[in-house]
Chain A
Amino acid sequence: MTDQHDPRDELGILAPRKMKAKFDYLHREVQRAAGVRITRRQALGLGGLAVLAAACGPVTTAPKQNASPSASAADPLAGLPLENHLEIYNWSQYDDPSTYTLFKKLPDEAAAGLRIHETYYSSNDELLAKLGAGGTTYDIIVPSQNAVAELIEEQKLMKLDKAHLPNLINLDPSFLKPAYDPNGDYHVIKDFGITMFFYNNKIVTDQPSSMLEFYNLLTKYVGKGRTNLLDGAEEVVPLALMAIGIDPNTTSQGDFDKVKAFLLGLRKGVTTISSYGYINDAIAGKIILSQGWNGDVRRIIQGRAKQGDITGVIPTAASEIWADNWCILANAPHPVAAHAWINWILTPSTAVTEMLYHNYKIPMPAALDQVPASLKDDPMFNVPKTYTDNYHYILNVSPQVVQARTGIYTAFKAA
């Protein structure tokens, strides 16, 4: 995973190494404009630049030399060679190390001498800020659903060339066109999870089954121990909206007023609002009633196996479903390699390795059939579709909606 210099790709131009990604991009642009395969040397030479200048110039009626219009629309990368580098910007420790090494050993990738360089971010905010600042040379990014929607709107993502992703057929079709990318043009789902809740069954004697019932029990049990909500305006407000039967992505002021009243009514029942540290506290037996993400709740229940006092509930009715996704940036210097990477991830055997590594579900039936029963039969990993059918993605609809949610969140905390 180092940025190794490849002598076969010698440019013969004195330029900083950093420029390589930019030259690759230029090469691709020239090739796209020319419509034929040309070598880097040609592409970056005067002839190539002339082709590019012609393509950028006034609209010309002269037909493109080879690729037929329909083919180029459906498969814009047709005929382009596989690059020898891939730049990934990802969450840390989110993919099995063998996924990278095996990818580089695939015949085409090995022949191209492909190298992968990966850097990491720790939140979608960080990712968006970095992309917003510009000047990046990443190929692959892994945004969560709301960041995907934002990036599509800002036209920062490349429309995927499905001809380069034949393994897409392995995915559960119901995950191809979600609300955050209605045409499924810009993302491939990496894995997904849900927001559920858990309680200490020695203390909480009711048996809540929906998020609304969870909220209604907070005030009743807060005197007996710590209750917790997941933090953040984008969790607290949309989750409460769903509990009272409203679209989490609503833009209506009336809905905001309703959810604010609902939240302020249960404020006394909330001890903490925290999304980090609640796993350890719950395993230490300090939380009696709390929301949590499915991967975390699995860990908590495993951690309390000896006491057996934690019950996890996948809510009936509405709750949150979230997803992390593979996307390619519009200015990716190595689009062919990026597509090859995503296609490799979509191989069932790779998906099995990945799921065993990160323990989040990849919606790929052929892969799920191969994971061990202990994982496959655990509804907190393999969340049944009957539940997720009722769940919604929480999106950053507009700055106004996000501001309204933050206002409610602040009022809730300050109450």
Chain B
Amino acid sequence: MPRTARSFKPRYPAWLMSPSFLYYAMFFLGPMAILVVFSLSTQTGFGTIRFGFDTSQYRLVANALYLKIFQRTLLMAFLGSVLTIAVGYPVAYWMARHLSTYKMLALLLVVVPFWTSFLIRTYALKIILDPQGYLARDFGINIQYTKYAVGLGLVYNYLPLFILPVFASLERMDWTLIEAATDLGARPLTAFRQITLRLTLPGVVTGALLVFIPMTGEYIIPNILGGGKYEFVGNLIGDQFTEAQNQPFGSALAISLMVALSVFVIVYILFATKEERFGA
């Protein structure tokens, strides 16, 4: 009797997946389908629409004004991500490489702000940036209600989301490689560039996308820190639903933003699989 080949595949029945599949179908695919249907319908009155296949909303998106807002949103999110990398990478590096006893405490301190509501953190930042506050009075940094305040808010609010994956990849890194490199005569900077940075790059890309994508969809930060006069695509979409009561156009804008973001998600998937292949 031949010995049965041993399978390493998990022996769970496929139907166990059904709860999560149902969840995704109802709360992700379903709303997405509704959004697509809405974006292709025609507005017939206030808040009333006729379903059909009307692509005119998508042509409206290509208006110079809206393209400018898309461009600005993507640019601000890009700059915000770059700044997040600049601030977050050294912090993650320091935590992973130089802390031992207090490593978990430092990690906790990074995560703690996340326990406070996003809205409250943004309002807190508004108080710090107040023209009558210390920052403006004693340091001359008076940026409230400007795009600089919006940028600061983006970096501040999303920093933990970047630090965590980068910290994880730095933690997993084999530091003996650095020792070997220095033993072989590499300068510290060269060793960092050729080993540390390369091995943690997938973590950096993951972290950067984790902050870039929500930044492009940001609504609260530009509204509160920009003084209600700094438009992100999120604000534009909000206005179409609440002010203009024009669901088709608002939906078309939302879909367009998703399409634009898909490009970045594809980049993410490519890097994520690469990380798995080589390990970090």
Contacts and interface: CB of A to CB of B under 8 A. Distances in A.
A371 interface: no
A413 B243 contact: no
Categorize the interface residue count of chain B.
20 to 34
Given A413-B229, A413-B230, A414-B69, A233 B243 contact: yes
B240 to A, nearest CB: 7
B145 A272 contact: yes
B206 interface: no
Given A406-B244, A409-B239, A410-B236, A399 B43 contact: yes
B246 A272 contact: no
Listed residue (A231, A233, A273, A413) with the most chain B CB atoms within 10 angstroms of its CB: A413
B86 to A, nearest CB: 28
Contacts, number: 77
A403 B46 CA distance: 10
Interface in B219-267: 227-231, 235-236, 239-240, 242-246, 249
B47 A129 contact: yes
Given A226-B131, A410-B65, A410-B239, A273 B228 contact: yes
Contacts of B227: 271-274
- Secondary structure dominating the interface of A: helix
Contacts of B145: 226, 271-272
A256 to B, nearest CB: 14
Contact of A132 (B48, B65, B235): B48
A411 B66 CA distance: 9
B229 A403 contact: no
Contacts of A225: 131
A374 B64 CA distance: 53
Contacts of B230: 413
B2 interface: no
Contacts of A172: none
B72 A414 contact: yes
A273 B65 contact: no
Contacts of B190: none
A406 B45 CA distance: 15
B273 interface: no
B243 to A, nearest CB: 4
B242 to A, nearest CB: 6
A150 B46 contact: yes
A295 interface: no
A38 interface: no
A410 B72 CA distance: 14
A275 to B, nearest CB: 9
A414 B66 CA distance: 9
13 contacts: A128-B47, A154-B45, A231-B228, A234-B243, A273-B229, A286-B130, A399-B46, A402-B244, A403-B249, A406-B243, A406-B246, A410-B231, A414-B68
Interface of B: 43, 45-48, 65-66, 68-69, 72, 130-132, 145, 227-231, 235-236, 239-240, 242-246, 249
